[in-house]
Structure 1
Amino acid sequence: MKYLMMVQGTQADYDAMTGSPSPGSPAWTEEDIETMFAFMREINDELAESGELVDGQGLAEPRKTRFVSLGEDGRPVVTDDPYGRTEPLLAGYWVLDCAGLERVTEIAARVARCPQPEGAPEYPVVIRPIAESGEELTS
């Protein structure tokens, strides 16, 4: 079964990784960042080797987000940088093909242990099953 596993972060967290800390988001050193990337590379390599990794990506900072909606006249309305600095958002994801929910939960628990600086915020790792073709989206 396929699952979407997601990690979260805020604009303040991205800023802290590039040298602009704030209350609740302490500064990351270059060593902190390299340790985090090495940890994630190791997980990705193991998931690729086991055949469970379908895709996985880190996302650009939230301030690069754009919303496109339709106005009352049916024309596109574009909003750049629609999020606040401290609103938790999707920061990265994996699409995994695992034997079941227990296995993807094991992987999520490992991802939740990602090294980070003391005092950095902790967010839950989110797991969502991906509906298979023809499968009901609700139960």
Structure 2
Amino acid sequence: MKYLMMVQGTQADYAAMGGTASEGSPAWTQEDVRAMYAHMTALNKDLTASGEMIDGQGLAEPARTRFVTLGVDGEPVVADGPYGETEEVLAGYRTLAQCSTLQGGGVGHPAPGGPEGRGFRAGSPCPTTWLSDLPPDGRDVRPAGAVYDRFSPVGSGP
């Protein structure tokens, strides 16, 4: 079973990391930014040492995100996107081979964005979901007898 741990953020959060404050997102100092990177590096090292970490990436700010739809003529239409200043979007992710927080025990996953303090909000959610276990060739390797809906196993948790 593999898991996707998502880190959320807003355009205001990215601006705050660059030193521009807004309501709900105080400006970060260089020390705040260094503390965040130190925290994330330590967490990634712990997850790697425990065998949980597969991959992890930070994503570009919402202002750089593009929204691609299919036009009526069948051609792609690229727009700046529907993201407002305060709408949360995916800011980064970690792909995990296992997730000790969901499974109990292990490293555990403290606030994935950074240590508590300026710029970090207590109780910020870190959505974590399991990834499909179907191989790229589409063979169904799910356990026999398991009932699945479109997104998750029904009656049999991961």
Q: TM-score, normalised by structure 2?
A: 0.77
Q: Secondary structure at the match of 2:128?
A: strand
Matched, 1:51 2:59: no
**CA-CA distance at 1:71 after TM superposition:** 1.2
User: How far apart, CA to CA, are the structure 2 residues paired with 1:9 and 1:42?
Assistant: 20
Alignment partner, residue 115 of structure 1: 115
How many residue pairs were aligned?
A: 138
Unaligned runs of at least 5 residues, structure 1: none
TM alignment of 1:68-79, pairs within 5 A: 68-79=68-79
Match of 2:14 in 1: 14
The Cα offsets for residues 20-54 of structure 1, whole Å up to 9 and x where unpaired, read as 11011100000001011101100101111222110
1:67 aligned partner: 67
Cα 1:29–1:116, aligned 2, differ >3 Å: closer, same or farther?
farther
Q: 2:2, 2:97 within 8 Å by CA — same for their partners in 1? A: yes
Question: 2-side partners of 1:120 and 1:33: how far apart?
Answer: 11
1:41 partner SS:
helix
Which residue does the alignment assign to 1:102?
103
CA distance in 1, matches of 2:70, 2:130: 29
Query: Do the aligned partners of 1:28 and 1:117 also contact (CA within 8 Å) in 2?
Result: no
Counting only pairs closer than 5 Å after superposition, residues 86-101 of structure 1 correspond to structure 2 as 86-98=86-98, 101=102
TM-superposed CA distance for 1:81, in Å, is 4.3
Q: Which residue of 1 aligns with 2:127?
A: 126
> Looking at both structures, which has the greater relative contact order when contacts are Cα pairs under 8 Å and sequence separation is at least 6?
1
Say which structure is richer in helix. 1
Query: Offset of 1:130 from its aligned partner?
Result: 0.7
How many Å separate the matches in 2 of 1:112 and 1:26?
19
How far did residue 80 of structure 1 move? Answer: 1.9
Superposition CA RMSD, Å? 2.3
- Conservation of the 8 A alpha-carbon contact between 2:7 and 2:92: yes
Q: Give the gaps of 5 or more residues in structure 2.
A: 135-139, 143-147
Q: Calculate the TM-score normalised by the size of structure 1.
A: 0.87
Q: Deviations over 1:63-101 (max 9, x none)?
A: 110111111121211112431111011111100011663
Q: Which amino acid aligns with 2:50?
A: S
